[in-house]
Amino acid sequence: MKRLTILLVTMTISLGIFAQAADIVPKPVSVVKKDGVFRITNNTKVLFEASNEIEEDFADLAKELLKSATGTTPDFVAPTAQKEDNILIQLNNPLDTKIGNEGYTLSIQKDRVFLNANTTAGLFYGMQSIWQLLTSTDGTTLPCMDITDYPRFGWRGLHLDVSRHFMPVEFIYKYIDYIALHKMNVFHWHLVDDQGWRIEIKKYPKLTEVGAFRADREDLDWNSRKEPVKENEPKYGGFYSQEDVKAIVEYAHKKHVTVIPEIEMPAHVMSALAAYPEYSCTGEYKPVPPGGVWPITHIFCAGKEETFNFLEDVLTEVMGLFPSTYIHIGGDEATKTEWEKCELCQKRMTDEGLKDEHELQAYFIKRIEKFLNKNGRQLIGWDEILEGGLDPTATIMSWRGSDPGIRAAKAGHDVVMSPTSHCYFDYYQGDPSLEPKAFGGNITLKKVYNFEPVPAELSVEEAKHIIGAQANIWTEYMPNGRHVEYMIMPRMSALSEVLWSPKDSKDWGDFSKRMESQYKRFDKLGINYATSAFQVSARPELDPANKAIKVSLNTDAWDPDIYYTTDGSEPTVQSNKYTQPFTISKSGTVKAVVIQDGKQKSQPLATDFTIHKAIACKVDQKYPNSKSYESTGEYALVDGIKGSKDHHDGNWKGFNAKDLVATIDLGQSQTFSKVSTGVLQDNGAWIFYPTHVTVEVSEDGQNFNKLGTVKNKVSARDGERQIQDLVLNKKGTGRYIRVTAAHLTSCPKGHAGEGQPGWLFVDEIIVE
């Protein structure tokens, strides 16, 4: 009994704590709310005396943050002045071991505020929290509370590709501000890729004279851009001078952000090779490509000593500009066909006893690592650098899922997690029909929030190698900074919490509530953030007992006011207000929006529902569908929603090398006149239409009579993503309907998967 009481008291306190953390993102480790408030007035002084340059920088930033929130800058004076009405900022002496190198404690009392940390970084993060609290009140009021706060991970990163689209210097400063605002601390600057070399290297001026500019094809889709035809056509591009870089690195340093340069090798370097073709295997000049290139074969020659001399020269200048411990050398996506044909590469393999081109890449990377280590730096690269062998001193950035990171951690490498599943912010964050064109995929705010950087497969010791995570922002479809903002905000808020806050304090509801304040901060800062979290998706909830569907409306927003229609008209505040799942009894289009403070927060998403005789009926499948394409489970084929052209949309059932044989139990004998079977073809994803669909009918579920067959008429070679209904218009009577969709037994001639089994995708069998 006593134990229970204590437990309840503890739960109440901790619930209280989390509720009080309401406004800070990322959520602090601990917040204890007190009664009362501290008000910043004209009398308020900040007691802080800087004793060196980094402390002066901190004081300047603290002044800026206070001014931004309150409108005025309080006096900063030596800590001997007034005792009350002050904000006392102090570096701990002795150190407070609990909060580490980046943590802080903040005690807001009615008559004064104490901010303490072991480092200026900690003080800076404490000031960010003060700024956030002020932006959630009238700008001068701080609610009384005690905060103890420190990060979970040391590497809290955001990457930016400035090659695919050049981002001006002013935007890079803003980007660093956004990183710091989120208490993140790494800016991974992807300065080199095929489509542009973006950093001035004094010894090799052509890198930027030639490599930083490409034929202007900005009016065309990234993957439809042809190579330049004229020497003097208009160019797109830009680069950062060494002076720009120095200023940016210094600016970031003041904000406790480490800038890590990425100098790609051996692939993703067509920009460099356009300037210096002699470092490729063929020596052939190829222009800087204005758009997508795949596969990437035109790469640095690993057989030429000159290549390594060149790279060492470049890296020497880079190390002179970037004081970071880590230098990122890329290492991803090299297709080694030129190496296979190159005499010098082959000779290198013989001389060094390398058994294949993977080992040649490993030789390349290890050689560069030695050079960096000799200069007191550490190498980090994409997970491909594990292939062919690597010394454990190198750090891995796990992007092709988490598996390479798991392997690397088990082998003793430090790892930064950045899997495409959760950390690729070039992927869609909402429904593609409502979003600007993105790379693909779908990584919602909630998905990012649910990311766990430490895989369960790792032991406690191995898990120590996961030093953090980061999001990657590849800019093929982001032509400017405004667009980048849209793709990172608000997803980086979710990521910052994954990286900073304790794992066991994760609470989606609480986070989405605090996001309300965060969106207001973004408004205050003029940030072009996405409101995709407010998109309303309509999902069916099946009611098999009544053979009916209810529709639930869902968002990633906190406590949204949702208004909807079921007749396809545009929802307004006069429309139905959503309170709970509602039954729909006739076919139609559901459209729903969130309207808050009189403002519609996003475009309505339209979802068509088809009400038919088989809704919510039991379906028995002869062959199971793939676990990866289950859709909504056992009723997915009769849930009233049809799949779209996107086979990942959560509506399709996918079968690998199997037919669909589905028997629908209508519950009682019924007469029907039409059976439609929805199918999809996405030749690029190895998904093909069935050759035909056969419909049979039965009263007892044992003895079936064939009703008819519908043939597919579209060629499997048609590469267009498409859907169709294979419709049998024929009257039938019976309790059971068996639908067989016969899969194409192998990918067609000329297809990448020729001779291998393809996929069959089916959604919604409509019985009318």
Catalytic residues: 193, 268, 333
| Count of residues engaged in binding Zn ion, rule: CB under 5 A | 6
Q: Are 258 and 324 in contact (CB under 8 A)?
A: yes
Longest dimension (CA), the chain: 96
Chain centroid to CA 410: how far? 25
| Residue with token string 């032991």 | 459
Tokens representing 667 are 């519950």
**Span from 19-27, 224-232, 301-309, 432-440 in contact with Zn ion (CB under 5 A):** 301-309
Q: How far is the CB of 384 from ligand ACM (least distance, A)?
A: 8
301 binds, among ligand ACM, Zn ion, none (CB under 5 to 8 A by kind): Zn ion
Q: Which of ligand ACM, Zn ion, none binds 345 (CB below 5-8 Å, type-dependent)? A: Zn ion
The residue (of 201 and 273) whose beta carbon lies closer to Zn ion is 273
* Distance from C-alpha of 328 to C-alpha of 161, rounded to nearest angstrom: 13
Amino acid at position 720, single letter: E
Question: Is residue 26 within the footprint of Zn ion (CB under 5 A)?
Answer: no
- Are residues 584 and 590 in contact, defined by beta-carbon separation less than 8 angstroms? yes
Helix (H) or strand (E) holding 307: helix 305-321
329 vs 342, which CB is nearer to ligand ACM?
Answer: 329
User: Among 118, 173, 178, which residue's Cα sits nearest to residue 151?
Assistant: 118
By CB under 5 A, tell whether 349 contacts Zn ion.
no
Q: Between 30 and 163, whose beta carbon lies closer to ligand ACM?
A: 163
User: Which residue, 283 or 719, is less far from Zn ion as judged by CB?
Assistant: 283
Q: In the bound complex, what is the minimum distance in angstroms from residue 264's beta carbon to ligand ACM?
A: 10
Instruction: Confirm if 329 and 365 have CB atoms less than 8 A apart.
Output: yes
Give the chain's length.
768
Determine the Cα–Cα distance for residues 73 and 403; give it in Å rounded to an integer. 50
**Surface-to-core class of residue 359, CB atoms within 10 Å of its CB (0-12 exposed, 13-18 middle, 19+ buried):** middle
Q: By the criterion CB under 6 A, which residues form the site for ligand ACM?
A: 332-333, 382, 399
Whether the CB-CB separation of 364 and 298 falls below 8 Å is answered with: no
Q: Are strands 395-398 and 415-417 parallel, antiparallel or unpaired?
A: parallel
Stretch (H or E) spanning 683: none
Contact 182, 151 (CB under 8 A): no
DSSP SS3 for 81: coil
Q: Could you give the CA distance from residue 716 to residue 700 in angstroms, rounded to a whole number?
A: 37
342 binds Zn ion (CB under 5 A): yes
Between 190 and 658, whose beta carbon lies closer to ligand ACM?
A: 190
Which of the choices ligand ACM, Zn ion, none does residue 399 contact, using the CB cut-off of 5 to 8 A by kind? Answer: ligand ACM
* CB closer to Zn ion, 32 vs 344: 344
CA nearest to 448, candidates 476, 475, 471, 426:
471
Least distance (Å) between residue 739 CB and ligand ACM = 41
Nearest distance in Å: CB 170, ligand ACM: 26
Q: At what angle do helices 242-254 and 305-321 cross, to 10 degrees?
A: 50
Q: Taking CB under 5 A as the rule, does residue 345 contact Zn ion?
A: yes
> Cis omega (within 30 of 0) on the bond before 228?
no
Q: How far is the CB of 423 from ligand ACM (least distance, A)?
A: 10
Contact 473, 425 (CB under 8 A): yes
Show the tokens assigned to 514. 């605090």
Position with the least CB separation from ligand ACM: 332
Q: Out of Zn ion, ligand ACM, none, which partner does residue 113 contact, by CB within 5 to 8 A per kind?
A: none
Q: Which of residues 462-481 bind Zn ion (CB under 5 A)?
A: none
Q: Which is nearer to ligand ACM, 358 or 513 (CB)?
A: 358
Q: Tell which positions 271-300 bind Zn ion, by CB under 5 A.
A: 281
Q: Which does 332 bind (CB under 5 to 8 A by kind): Zn ion, ligand ACM, none?
A: ligand ACM
- Beta carbons of 29 and 150 less than 8 angstroms apart: yes
- 303 binds Zn ion per the rule CB under 5 A: yes
The C-alpha atoms of residue 768 and residue 765 are separated, in whole angstroms, by 10
Structure tokens at 759: 């996929």
SS3 578: coil
Residue 333 or residue 561: which is nearer to ligand ACM going by CB? Answer: 333
Minimum distance between the CB of residue 382 and ligand ACM, rounded to whole angstroms?
4
Taking the mean position of all CA atoms in its chain, how far away is CA 560?
24
3-state secondary structure of 223: helix
Q: Between 344 and 742, whose beta carbon lies closer to Zn ion?
A: 344
For residue 342, the partner it binds in Zn ion, ligand ACM, none, with Cβ less than 5 to 8 A by kind, is Zn ion
Please, what is the minimum distance in Å from the beta carbon of residue 162 to ligand ACM?
15
Q: State which residue, 306 or 523, has the beta carbon closest to Zn ion.
A: 306
Q: How far is the CB of 223 from ligand ACM (least distance, A)?
A: 15
333 binds, among ligand ACM, Zn ion, none (CB under 5 to 8 A by kind): ligand ACM
We find the least distance from the C-beta atom of residue 333 to ligand ACM, in angstroms, to be 5
Among 25, 192, 267, 301, binds Zn ion (CB under 5 A): 301
d(CA 554, CA 538): 7
CB atoms within 10 A of CB 326: 23
Look at residue 365 and give its three-state secondary structure: helix
553 near Zn ion, rule: CB under 5 A: no
Nearest approach, Cβ of residue 267 and ligand ACM (Å): 9
Q: Which residues bind Zn ion (CB under 5 A)?
A: 281, 301, 303, 342, 344-345
